[in-house]
Amino acid sequence: MDGGEAPGLSVKGWETVDVPHDWAIKGPFDKDIDKQVVQVVQDMDEAPRERTGRTGALPHIGVGWYRKTFEVPAFQPGKKALLAFDGAMSDARVYINGEEVGHWPYGYSYFYFDISDYLKQGEENLLAVRLENLPSSSRWYPGAGIYRKVQVIVKDEVSFNKWATFITTPFISDEVAQVNIQTEISGAATHMVTEIIDPSGKVVAAETTTDRFGSKMEQNIAVPQPQLWGTEHPHLYQARVLLYEGDELKDEEFIRFGIRSVEYERGKGLVLNGEVTKFKGVCLHHDLGPLGAAVNVAALRRQLTILKDMGVNAVRSAHNMPAREQVELCDEMGILYLAESFDEWAKPKVKNGYNRLFEEWAEKDVVNLVRALRNHPSVVMWSSGNEVPDQWGNEGVKRAKWLQDIFHREDPTRPVTVGMDQVAAVMENGFGAITDIPGLNYRVHLYDEAYDRFPQGFILGSETASTVSSRGIYKFPVEIYSHKTYNDFHSSSYDLEYCRWSNLPDDDFVWQDDYDWVIGEFVWTGFDYLGEPTPYNEAWPSRSSYFGISDLAGLPKDRFYLYRSRWNTKDETLHILPHWNWEGREGETTPVFVYTSYNSAELFVNGKSQGIQTKTKDKTKQHRYRLMWMDVQYEPGTLKVVALDDDGQPVAEKEVHTAGAPYGLELVADRSVITADGQDLSYITVSVVDKEGRFCATATPQLDFKVTGAGDFKVVCNGDPTSLELFHLPTMKAFSGQLVVTVQSQKKAGDITLQVKGKGLKTAKMTIKSE
Ligand code: GAL
């Protein structure tokens, strides 16, 4: 990295890194990095305040250069070469052999340049990329560097234009689906041949087309007995699209798509393949916790696997273009996708945010987003913005319309939403009325009025809850609080603390359960993320969020089970909180909550019944969704819950025990066999346990890690939002008794062994396979 202006023509003396890469994630954390003194209107700040840790307190500000030498043997006369980036953070200036070939400022955009005129055939070329992140340009950790994939694509002069092929399924019946393929081509192509390959790999339809209208070609192909893409069975087809000039094959694309119908109806919302489907969604920022912004497919897949187990059926990419690999995984896993674009339009939230780019770049950024993602069956909605200050005033209404029209032009099949928080303003000025899908961020108290005043006939909870908690931390007395802070900079896992603008999960559930026109929600957020440590924005060393349903390490907080009890309708949920290690609280009131898919349960402390609780609409909203024993007196021993069926018969039980002194470590890998590709990851959860193997929920020993064999230690994370220990160093304190070590495969197969040591603890080892 350096700040110099010249692209230079050598790679000598440069640090070697692998792309995707995030230059800032190794830290160190520093309070002064991007310290912002701002009045955040969205947070209802009454005056400017100092915000430390808002963007994660990691060194992402400044200039970074990347250089790479490469040859492109396939680049011959008659060919062209494209250089494609899935994202570069940010303000990318791209040089080939010392000449600037292009510039793309928005760090989340997918973009490409034609580099044919700059490449040397048959010789070594030098690619140089200059990136620059300004201070006060983000509201969360944006990452830094070439954090997504980069490719050189060589094509014939006669070829499909990039992202031009668009596949839709306008007609679907049990017998047949119409697969419509539209594309644009360059050069003197004579015909196009498409084969449709079904989920089992069989070619089930094919068509040849010679008709050409200028640069455009189109086909309609009948696919018999279509297998639909849905959240339960995400069947995927492929189109093999071939372009010929005479007998010569000039271009070939494999495009994966799904056959599914997506409609939005008044009073119902999303109707997917004829079935009303409510959004059980979460918002996700793009960072992968301790890995930072650098994309890794195994990390993305793990997140989605955890979410699926919770019963999630949808993800919103807050507040920008997602990693393309994440959308591919959602196609494969049957997760609906709401792809967002911007957190700002022309009016700023942060001084150097997207407002500087909006006029010149918004259309180009939206076009690339839509063209790159529109063949993904998981994508069922676009979002043109999140809580944009342009919600106020007529200019903003025009911008909303202008952007929505661009989305429609590029993709007439999907609607557009905006996450709206200025609900009074958007009801007044028409902003909400013209938006395809009225998305409300929080403001449940205005759902009714917005539904009455907007014409669409439904409301989406485009962002909900923003409840805060720290995994395994419980505070007393147990009450509902707004913007509560404590001296240890943690929030309580009784899940009763929210922010000035937000609410509790139960507040959202009530609306969804009582009104069909509330078409679901996207909870803020599925996982904790780096930056935005509300409610500790000014409280160093808080440096990551408390909003996550799971923590920064991916470990579930209690809230995970509250959502699971409602969303995962296949598996039983029976979860007790808090932990039962309260030395010093003997005889004190220590409420016990149970999050469960059952309606009723009896609680026992050391065999003594604490009575039966049943979910009920007759008390508070919490009583409708949680079983709560508010008067339990703490005594060490065993907390046992017995779930009861509707006849009062026991159907399941769970126990939580008071643990003795920390003695050893239990290791559990999310995957015990990984791929020997140098990329794949296994996440190994380390829990402190006593001599009998009982979980020590308050233990915080310093642990040391060593990985041997065919893998490497990658990172470690304990989910503590106030920890300043660095993720890439092989030592960290456990937080609430746990942490997660990430191990990466090498390119050779073999065993990988993780050893974990802690002072006074029995050393633990675990071996996984890489093949
Ligand atoms: C919303 C905003 C999110 C996040 C959240 C925290 O208003 O859209 O980006 O800041 O609040 O509660």
Element (H, E) at 725: none
Q: Is the CB of 42 under 6 A from ligand 1?
A: yes
Q: Is the CB of 524 under 6 A from ligand 1?
A: yes
pLDDT at 50: 87
Mean pLDDT, the chain, integer: 97
pLDDT at 47: 86
Ligand 1 centre to CA of 419 (Å) is: 10
Ligand 1 centre to CA of 479 (Å) is: 23
The residue with greater pLDDT, 269 or 41, is: 269
pLDDT at 175: 98
* Mean pLDDT to the nearest integer, 500-529: 98
- What is the spatial distance between Cα 358 and Cα 360, in angstroms, rounded to a whole number? 6
- What is the spatial distance between Cα 348 and Cα 137, in angstroms, rounded to a whole number? 10
- What is the spatial distance between Cα 20 and Cα 129, in angstroms, rounded to a whole number? 13
- What is the spatial distance between Cα 241 and Cα 221, in angstroms, rounded to a whole number? 12
Would the pLDDT of 1 be above 80?
Answer: no
pLDDT in tens, 664-709: 999 999 999 999 999 999 999 999 999 999 999 999 999 999 999 9
pLDDT at 8: 58
Would the pLDDT of 11 be above 80?
Answer: no
Q: Is the CB of 421 under 6 A from ligand 1?
A: yes
Element (H, E) at 68: strand 62-70
Would the pLDDT of 4 be above 50?
Answer: no
* Mean pLDDT to the nearest integer, 473-501: 97
Q: Of 344, 387, 410, 602, which one is the catalytic site residue?
A: 387
Asked if 696 and 673 touch (Cβ cutoff 8 Å), the reply is: no
Q: Is the CB of 441 under 6 A from ligand 1?
A: yes
Would the pLDDT of 187 be above 90?
Answer: yes
Q: Is the CB of 466 under 6 A from ligand 1?
A: yes
Q: Is the CB of 467 under 6 A from ligand 1?
A: no
Rounded to the nearest angstrom, the gap between the alpha carbon of residue 236 and the centroid of all alpha carbons in its chain is 22
pLDDT in tens, 288-334: 999 999 999 999 999 999 999 999 999 999 999 999 999 999 999 99
* Mean pLDDT to the nearest integer, 450-459: 98
Q: What pLDDT band is residue 12 in, cutting at 50, 70 and 90?
A: confident
Q: Which atom of ligand 1 is nearest to the CA of 42?
A: 7
Ligand 1 centre to CA of 51 (Å) is: 15
% of the chain surpassing 70 pLDDT? 99
* Mean pLDDT to the nearest integer, 118-140: 96
Among 36, 41, 42, 51, say which to mutate for ligand 1: greatest number of ligand atoms within 8 Å of CB: 42
Q: Is the CB of 705 under 6 A from ligand 1?
A: no
* Mean pLDDT to the nearest integer, 74-90: 96
Q: Of 344, 463, 521, 725, which one is the catalytic site residue?
A: 463
Q: Is the CB of 463 under 6 A from ligand 1?
A: yes
Q: Is 387 annotated in the active site?
A: yes
pLDDT in tens, 559-585: 999 999 999 999 999 999 999 999 999
Q: Is the CB of 386 under 6 A from ligand 1?
A: yes
E-assigned strand segments in 115-215: 125-133, 150-156, 159-160, 166-172, 176-186, 191-197, 203-209
Ligand 1 centre to CA of 313 (Å) is: 21
Among 532, 544, 545, say which to mutate for ligand 1: greatest number of ligand atoms within 8 Å of CB: 532
Enumerate the H helices of 577-680 as residue ranges: 621-625
pTM of structure: 0.97
Partner residues linked to 712 by β-bridges: 744
What is the residue with the minimal CA distance to atom 4 of ligand 1?
524
DSSP 616: -
3-state class of 36 per DSSP?
Answer: strand
Q: What pLDDT band is residue 7 in, cutting at 50, 70 and 90?
A: low
Q: Is 99 annotated in the active site?
A: no
Q: Is the CB of 387 under 6 A from ligand 1?
A: yes
* Domains parsed from the chain with CATH numbers: 58-156 (2.60.120.260), 160-257 (2.60.40.10), 263-466+501-530 (3.20.20.80), 664-770 (2.60.40.10)
pLDDT at 2: 43
What is the residue with the minimal CA distance to atom 3 of ligand 1?
524
Ligand 1 centre to CA of 588 (Å) is: 37
Ligand 1 centre to CA of 283 (Å) is: 10
Q: Is the CB of 264 under 6 A from ligand 1?
A: no
Burial class (CB within 10 angstroms; exposed 0-12, middle 13-18, buried 19+) of 453? middle
Would the pLDDT of 9 be above 70?
Answer: no
pLDDT in tens, 717-765: 999 999 999 999 999 999 999 999 999 999 999 999 999 999 999 999 9
Among 417, 463, 537, say which to mutate for ligand 1: greatest number of ligand atoms within 8 Å of CB: 463
pLDDT at 48: 87
Q: Which residues are within 8 A (CB) of 255 and not within 5 positions of it... i.e. 6 or more apart?
A: 165, 167, 238, 239, 241, 375
pLDDT in tens, 247-298: 999 999 999 999 999 999 999 999 999 999 999 999 999 999 999 999 999 9
Ligand 1 centre to CA of 432 (Å) is: 19
Ligand 1 centre to CA of 377 (Å) is: 27
